[in-house]
Amino acid sequence: MNQHLQSAAEIIQAGGVVAYPTESVYGLGCDPFNEEAVMRLLAIKLRPVDKGLILIGADLQQLAPYVELTAEEQQQLAAGWPAPLTWLVPVTDAVPAWVRGEHPKVAIRVPDHPLARELCRLVGHPIISTSANLSGRPSARNRFQVARQLGDQLDFIVSGACDRANKPSTIIDLESGRTLRA
């Protein structure tokens, strides 16, 4: 499996778009700092750039250079991760507009799925995470559903099972505490 993930990581580093399992559904990922890769991912999903995307990392340390958090906020996030819990947080200038969309914040998560975390580790920085489906269509929960819906447009599909959660991650605004998606 490690060579399988290494191949996916190399494809992301080269500007490709891959699908990979997360806690609940398959995700689409690419290099968030490669505008061409992100625009391609958005075109595959038929998703507008202004909606913004989630960044996932292997751990909080990998995400830290891209967000502005107090020591207390860092402890709060670290205590709750890894988990299917996404936080909307203040962003640094290091996060491109095509990741944030029309928002002044960015959504970040350390997934509770070993393959997704390891993929981030192998890439060497956070990656994009958005559900592997056409906007408005049901999310894919296995590699066959991904292949049926998007397969010919992707560069790679990581094999693996989605875990226990049966819905996409909860999204909470860190500053207000408001739940944006339960």
What b-and-e string marks burial along 75-112, b requiring 16 or more CB atoms within 10 Å of the CB?
A: eebeeebbbbbbbbbebeeebeebbbbeeebbbbbbbb
Token pair belonging to 152: 């010919």
Report residue 173's pLDDT band, with 50, 70 and 90 as the boundaries: very high
Range 154-179 average pLDDT: 87
The enclosing H or E element of 8 equals helix 2-13
Residues 6+ apart with CB under 8 A from 13: 31, 123, 124
pLDDT tens digits along 126-160: 999 999 999 889 889 999 999 999 989 999 999 99
Q: Which of 16, 20, 51 is nearest to 119 (CA)?
A: 20
Give Cα 25 to chain centroid, integer Å: 11
Beta bridge partners of 108: 55, 87
Structural domains for the chain: 2-181 (3.90.870.10)
Query: Mean of the per-residue pLDDT values for the chain?
Result: 94
Half-sphere exposure of 100 (CA within 13 A, CB side): 16
Predicted local confidence at residue 135, as pLDDT: 87
Report residue 118's pLDDT band, with 50, 70 and 90 as the boundaries: very high
Predicted local confidence at residue 166, as pLDDT: 67
pTM of the model: 0.95
Predicted local confidence at residue 44, as pLDDT: 97
Residues 6+ apart with CB under 8 A from 118: 5, 58
How far is residue 56's CA from residue 111's CA, in Å, rounded to a whole number? 7
Spatial contact of 129 and 109, defined as CB atoms under 8 Å apart? yes
User: Has residue 170 got a pLDDT over 60?
Assistant: yes
Predicted local confidence at residue 174, as pLDDT: 95
User: Has residue 2 got a pLDDT over 90?
Assistant: no
pLDDT tens digits along 29-59: 999 999 999 999 999 999 999 999 999 999 9
pLDDT tens digits along 53-93: 999 999 999 999 999 999 999 999 999 999 999 999 999 99
